[in-house]
Structure 1
Amino acid sequence: MTNNKVRLAILDMNDDEPNQGLRCIADIVGFFNTDVDWKIYNVRAKQEIPDTSYDIYISSGGPGSPLDKGEWRAPYLKLMQNLWDFNKKESQQKKHVFFICYSFQVICDYFNLGEIKPRRSTSFGILPVHKTKKGHNDPVLAGLNDPFYAVDSRDWQLIQPKLTVFKNRGAKILSLEKIRTHVELERAIMAVRFSDEFFGTQFHPEADPVSMQAYFSLEEHKQVVIKSFGEAKYKQMMDRMDDPDKLIMTYETILPTFIKNAIHQIKEPLLS
């Protein structure tokens, strides 16, 4: 740990496609600059894989199929297995990992927690996410309403959880997607605590409402949303960006709480 700072790796899973998420993650991590030294690794496009010397890893969302067998996949999953194994052996200095959307789907497939399947249609917008009973008691979600609201942007989903696998791994389902009374479709799993140190969401907790509002206010981006999802969806999304109980609360709670808790757990043994 350099200068008593925690070391954090951001794993960029965007495959060099333009995105807002990576900048949002970097902005949130930047809030902790007095406690954290951090570096970005371009995993899918350049096969950049960090070693196990970091204390915290944040693995981003990204485009395409989470079942993609690209060259990055084996070394990425080997890293995750090594971090998992390290935590099982090490009594104090744990490795903390947060998985977002695409990364969440990749690790859920690797851990065999359920079925990763394409959606009938893209889920897009600022949508309600409902806590499970275990979600109500989880420290990362504790500060949020039920339901809370998050940016959802995905063509794939985790459904049909293998509850025996969850139990054997000690994993917990913390939230589910919006209730849809008009369709008989299984609700996707939206957040999982894999262990005390591994946490993931199928939505985008890093989404910053200020920059999102600026981005989608531009006519070219506005028209893409309207063409794909309709004017009503666009208006709903823009209205929810302004609501202090919706996106801003999620942005200020989930990833900052995870990082803050991880820093505390990492530094506590050094101070005792």
Structure 2
Amino acid sequence: MSTDKPKIKIAILDLYDGIANEGMRGFREILERYKAKHDLNLSYEVFDVRRKAQVPGTNFDAYISSGGPGSPIDSEGTEWEKKYFRLIDKLEAHNESDSTNKKHVFFVCHSFQLMCRKYGVGEIGLRRSPSFGILPVHLTEEGKQDQVFQNLYDPFYTVDSRSWQVISPDLARFEQLGMKLLALEKERPHVDLPRAMMAIRFNDYFIATQFHPEADPLGIKTMLLREEKKDEVINEHGEAKYKEMLRRLDDPDKIAHTQSTIIPNFLDEAILSVEV
């Protein structure tokens, strides 16, 4: 009898369009840690979706779709986006079939916004000013029940980096499609602007966040300490906000906790069935 562990294959969909970022390293590190912790025969492959129109097949056990720069609207009709949505449609069809090996997908930030556009569940537009920082996110009642958000604080802290956003959830559409709004951005009682949706469960196998659960303190700190990024943040948000970001990075209950919780919880849900 073979004692070989089952192979687990994860596809990482890179939507950064060749732009330097901390996100891809964050995903790799989470997967490497998860593999070591659970002693798994796990491998992953990266697909350059936007720059090279590379898209995986449906033969992976789970998929992580990254954030990325630019407008989530202007790419409509492009070759890469058509291929991307064809993959999503195939995964959806697979999950609705009698097949037992369901395909779980985690969508981050830019991918979240593309999926919101695909399903028509909210308004997508530019923010009045970019959001960037280690900011609180509030769980809804449904978010508190979702397995992917178990063991988080409420609010929990995460890296938020958005020029674009999805607001004004179409609750009738949510109900029609059986989707759940899991989290909202921080409450701002002094600002008369709608709060962005920050996490949605599209179905039993597709979950998405408009924030960056893969971000880690070291990567963000390294980025913030670069002179050009420091100047950019201070010019945009002020020195007090910059110092607050650095303080929050050193707090183990903030983004370090978020990074070690959300995507690992997703992986538990996505690949436990593969291991059985």
Q: TM-score range by the shorter chain?
A: over 0.9
Structure 2 residue aligned with 1:22: 24
- Aligned amino acid, residue 107 of structure 2: F
Alignment deviations for residues 154-212 of structure 1 (CA, whole Å, 9 cap, x no partner): 01111111112211221100000000011111111000111111110000000011222
Q: CA deviation at 1:32?
A: 3.3
Alignment deviations for residues 25-81 of structure 1 (CA, whole Å, 9 cap, x no partner): 111112234331110000000100111111101000000001123321111001001
- Evaluate the alpha carbon distance shift between residue 137 and residue 125 of structure 1 in structure 2; reply closer, same or farther with a 3 A threshold: same
Mean Cα deviation higher: 103-112 or 25-34: 25-34
Structure 2 residue aligned with 1:168: 176
SS of match in other structure, 1:154: strand
Mean Cα deviation higher: 116-125 or 161-170: 161-170
TM (norm. structure 2) is: 0.93
Structure 1 residue aligned with 2:110: 102
Q: CA deviation at 1:8?
A: 0.6
- Aligned amino acid, residue 211 of structure 2: F
Structure 1 residue aligned with 2:204: 196
Alignment check: 8 A CA contact 1:177 1:188 kept:
yes
Alignment RMSD: 1.4
Structure 1 residue aligned with 2:71: 65
What are the residue-to-residue correspondences of 1:117-156 with 2, within 5 Å? 117-156=125-164
2:226 matches 1:226: no
Alignment deviations for residues 82-132 of structure 1 (CA, whole Å, 9 cap, x no partner): 101110113421001000000000011101111111111101100000000
Distance 1:212 1:35 in 2: 30
Alignment check: 8 A CA contact 1:209 1:241 kept:
yes
What are the residue-to-residue correspondences of 1:12-91 with 2, within 5 Å? 12-33=14-35, 34-67=40-73, 68-69=75-76, 70-91=78-99
User: For this pair of structures, how many residues does the alignment match?
Assistant: 267
2:198 matches 1:187: no
Distance 1:41 1:3 in 2: 25
- Aligned amino acid, residue 259 of structure 1: L
Distance 1:85 1:215 in 2: 40
SS of match in other structure, 1:31: helix
Alignment deviations for residues 214-237 of structure 1 (CA, whole Å, 9 cap, x no partner): 332233332222122211111111
Gapped regions of structure 2 (runs ≥ 5): none
Alignment check: 8 A CA contact 2:217 2:250 kept:
yes
Alignment deviations for residues 1-26 of structure 1 (CA, whole Å, 9 cap, x no partner): x9611111000000001111111111
Distance 1:222 1:123 in 2: 15
Instruction: Indicate the percent of aligned positions where both proteins have the same amino acid.
Output: 48
Q: CA deviation at 1:265?
A: 2.4
Structure 1 residue aligned with 2:222: 214
Q: List structure 1 segments (4+ residues) > 3 angstroms apart after TM superposition.
A: none
Structure 2 residue aligned with 1:10: 12
- Aligned amino acid, residue 49 of structure 1: V
Gapped regions of structure 1 (runs ≥ 5): none
Distance 1:197 1:266 in 2: 14
